[in-house]
Amino acid sequence: MTFLNPSFLWALALLLVPLALHLFNLHRPRKVYFTNVQFLQQLETQTKSMRKLREWLILLCRMLFLAALVLAFARPVLPSKYAGNTQGQPLHSLYIDNSFSMQRPSLGSEVNLLTHAKEQATAFAQNIGQQGQFQLLSNAFDSRESQIYDAQELSKTLSSLSFSIYRPLLSDVLQRQEKLSRKRLPNASAHLFLFSDFQQNVSASLFKYPFQEDIHYHLVPLQAAPVANVSIDSVWLGAPFIQRNNTNILYFKLHNHSQREIQQLPVQLYVQERAVAGKSVNLAAGESRTFSVEFSTDDSGWLRGRLHIEDAPVTFDNDYYFSYNARRQLQVLYLHQSTQPNPYVVAAYKAEPQINLQYKALSTINEEELRNADLLLVEASNNLEGTAAERLRTFAEMGGSLAVIPTQGATLDFLQAWGIKLNPAPPLPPDSSLQLRPESLAHPLFEGVFSKKPLNATMPWARPLWICRNGDNILKMQNGEAFLSMYRLQGGKVYVFASPLLPQYTNLVKHALFVPILYRMAQTAPQKALLYAYRSNERSLLLPIGAQPTQDKPLHLRRHQEEWLLTPQRLGNRLRIDLPTESMQAGFYALTYDADTLALLAFNVPAEESAMETISIDSLRTLADTLPNVHIYESGEPQTVIQQYQAQFIATPLWKYFIIAALLFLLCEILIIRLWK
């Protein structure tokens, strides 16, 4: 036991006062004479002995009363385990995980984990009271988190805390807590609390975190009741374009995160907030599966799409937002070195109204046309050198899609300089050719082209001039060599055909595969997104926007009444914008430049939020066993957290017990005086 006010112990000298009064009492008894005192003498002896005992007991009660009162004012405490290691007034930095995974119901309770966390933090602050000050952090990471609260202010702020779509790593949370605590109260003893469900994808970083020796870390894992959850992984169109008043196909991938089968899960597709399609699906335990729905719409312009599933009680990932510009055409630029363009290529692209084909001589190339192109087709009859080759390479490296079609006698040394390995093909006998393999149709380029994988399909033939090496072989010939290969060139793609696209070299130009190949090369151009759907935790975006704003004017990102100013950065054919990730919510955002809407962007909850796997308490306990300043609170109840913290860090005050003891001694004195005659 120690004393917070030891100077009061000098008052124990007051105990000498009642003792002195008792010892130096000068009162002398008066003598009374009787004629016969034989019996009176015996009675007097007994009364005097009892009176002395009574007076000593009264003295003892008075001295104990004064001693207990003095000790109470000296504020005696029972030291805690870490009481001697703290300096200054403690600062309690409380992090409340308000990510959407905290929407799950708490184990053994009807409230969700976020409500449970707020209740624990509120009860903790109210019970700690004057024992320290408080900071409150959430996933927002905003400037208000540096504010210092008392217990009452903290409770009010906690009541307004809601879910956030942003989810930082817990290691980043600890770094921010350490920074803010040292900045605001550098001399305080810092206690960092994490109230979280400790999802694996954000908590694994804790096991490599450099915990500081002068800070205490308190991990409060909140256990959720086991629930089933289905999330929407992604959506994509089955064709390059949404055709108005025609049947369109939307593919979507669902993931069952639970260990039980999901039957008859309702799925609804909304376009412009109108239900246009729906179905029910089944998912096995832990299964990821792709489904499709057919829909029709007559809307134009920027379309707002939303895929919705009916899945409870976890509902934050039941919607997937996407947008599409129904007015936009894919821009295909066809550059040829011959006197006339390839009629088969021109006819294939001209037949599709959603594709804007421009063709011109390669010698007339200019940067503005390259910047607006989705797909660049180059017909090379001789080697490209100088500025032309450099512009094509820059186009591909900055995210463009480039398709190279050789002609008879062409030299493709410029491709060799880009690291694309080509060898001349050995000549074939007259009237002979190589058949293309049917298994080539399983390549991802043809995804969504066929409703069913064709079996024993009649494939086209080819007479190659070149052999493409070390690429992604899209179409293979019967000798195993590639007729069409794709190469990655930094951010872009380069497609290379092994022969001219003319009937004397291949009948592909008259085959049913020809048009889908050309369409898919345009559709999958990496710098152009048919569906503008992103995750809210993306730090920046590279957008294909035709109207390129200048860097001296900011862009505006708007949602309802909120607005952010963004500074664009041009990267070749793309526009990079840095997003206010901490403030993003799921839904639609308009990206504007002056009075023009450049794009309608759709953001969704991060896919990682739907993964409900958490770090086990045993793993957290193992971490705490190796670090004495890391503390685990295994029970989910507020009183357990408070009691465990107080037992370790707050000395137990004993002054109340000494006041009670003083009153008891005073009562004993009164009873002795009144009842002992």
Report the mean per-residue pLDDT for the chain: 83
- Return d(Cα 271, Cα 302) in angstroms, integer: 11
- Return d(Cα 507, Cα 656) in angstroms, integer: 99
For strand 574-578 and strand 540-543, is the pairing parallel, antiparallel, or unpaired? Answer: antiparallel
- Name the strand (E) or helix (H) holding 669: helix 655-675
pLDDT in tens, 478-495: 998 999 999 988 878 899
Asked if pLDDT for residue 46 goes beyond 60, the answer is: no
pLDDT of residue 267: 96
Query: Which domain, by its residues, includes 568?
Result: 533-604
Same domain, 334 and 288: no
Q: What are phi and psi of 205, to 5 degrees?
A: -65, -20
Asked if pLDDT for residue 545 goes beyond 60, the answer is: no
Q: Which residue has the higher pLDDT, 621 or 185?
A: 621
Region 567-590: mean pLDDT is: 80
Region 250-276: mean pLDDT is: 93
Residues of the chain with pLDDT > 90: what percent?
24
Confidence of residue 321 (pLDDT cuts 50, 70, 90): very high
pLDDT of residue 527: 45
Q: Based on DSSP, count helices (H) and strands (E) in the chain, helices before strands.
A: 14, 34
Same domain, 52 and 98: no
Asked if pLDDT for residue 97 goes beyond 90, the answer is: yes
pLDDT of residue 562: 86
Same domain, 179 and 237: no
Asked if pLDDT for residue 243 goes beyond 80, the answer is: no
CATH number of the domain that residue 155 is part of: 3.40.50.410
Considering only CA atoms, which of 125, 122, 136 is closest in space to residue 173?
136
Domain end position, chosen among 467, 498, 523: 523
- Return d(Cα 498, Cα 406) in angstroms, integer: 7
Confidence of residue 82 (pLDDT cuts 50, 70, 90): low
Q: How far is CA 305 from CA 271, 273, 531, in A?
A: 5, 7, 9
pLDDT of residue 305: 93
> Following DSSP, what letter does each residue of 541-567 receive, concatenated?
EEE--SS---TTS-EEEEETTEEEEE-
Specify the pTM. 0.64
Yes or no: say if 446 and 458 are a contact pair by the CB < 8 Å rule: no
Asked if pLDDT for residue 438 goes beyond 60, the answer is: yes
Asked if pLDDT for residue 472 goes beyond 80, the answer is: yes
CATH number of the domain that residue 540 is part of: 2.60.40
**What is the amino acid identity at position 442?**
A
Confidence of residue 36 (pLDDT cuts 50, 70, 90): low
Domain end position, chosen among 523, 553, 578: 523
Alpha helices in 501-608 (DSSP H): 514-523
Q: How many domains does the chain have?
A: 5
Same domain, 293 and 356: no
Residue 175: Cβ-neighbour burial (10 angstroms; 0-12, 13-18, 19+): middle
pLDDT in tens, 370-403: 877 888 999 876 667 777 888 888 888 877 889 9
Inter-helix orientation angle 151-159/113-128, to 10°: 170
Q: How far is CA 210 from CA 141, 199, 434, 628, in A?
A: 21, 20, 62, 13
Residue 444 tokens, joined: 């991802």
pLDDT of residue 460: 93
336 found inside a domain: yes
Confidence of residue 550 (pLDDT cuts 50, 70, 90): low
311 found inside a domain: no
Same domain, 121 and 212: yes
pLDDT of residue 526: 46
Yes or no: say if 220 and 196 are a contact pair by the CB < 8 Å rule: yes
CATH number of the domain that residue 467 is part of: 3.40.50.880
634 found inside a domain: yes
Same domain, 412 and 546: no
For strand 482-489 and strand 492-497, is the pairing parallel, antiparallel, or unpaired? Answer: antiparallel
- Whether the bond into 18 is cis, omega within 30 of 0: no
Same domain, 94 and 204: yes
Phi-psi domain of 572 (left: phi exceeds 0; alpha: psi -120 through 50; beta: other): left
pLDDT in tens, 125-143: 888 766 678 899 998 877 7
Helix (H/G/I), strand (E/B), else coil: 20: helix
Domain end position, chosen among 499, 523, 547: 523
Same domain, 486 and 463: yes
Asked if pLDDT for residue 547 goes beyond 60, the answer is: no
- Return d(Cα 76, Cα 88) in angstroms, integer: 19
- Return d(Cα 25, Cα 613) in angstroms, integer: 81
Same domain, 172 and 160: yes
Residues of the chain with pLDDT > 70: what percent?
87
Same domain, 379 and 260: no
pLDDT of residue 314: 87
> Following DSSP, what letter does each residue of 143-191 receive, concatenated?
GGGG--B-HHHHHHHHHT----S----HHHHHHHHHHHHHHH-TTS-EE
211 found inside a domain: yes
**What is the amino acid identity at position 452?**
K
Yes or no: say if 333 and 375 are a contact pair by the CB < 8 Å rule: yes
- Return d(Cα 551, Cα 538) in angstroms, integer: 22
Distance of CA 641 to the CA centre of its chain: 26
Q: Which residue has the higher pLDDT, 394 or 231?
A: 231
Q: List 331's β-bridge partners, or say none.
A: 356
- Return d(Cα 134, Cα 146) in angstroms, integer: 10
Same domain, 248 and 346: no
Residue 664 tokens, joined: 């008891």
658 found inside a domain: no
Asked if pLDDT for residue 32 goes beyond 80, the answer is: no
Which 8-state DSSP code applies to residue 129?
A: G
Asked if pLDDT for residue 269 goes beyond 90, the answer is: yes
Same domain, 222 and 261: no
Q: Which residue has the higher pLDDT, 602 or 541?
A: 602
Region 396-423: mean pLDDT is: 84
Asked if pLDDT for residue 95 goes beyond 90, the answer is: yes
662 found inside a domain: no
- Tokens 């919607």, residue? 319
515 found inside a domain: yes
Asked if pLDDT for residue 548 goes beyond 70, the answer is: no
Confidence of residue 217 (pLDDT cuts 50, 70, 90): very high
322 found inside a domain: no
CATH number of the domain that residue 261 is part of: 2.60.40.10
Terminal alpha carbon distance of the chain: 40
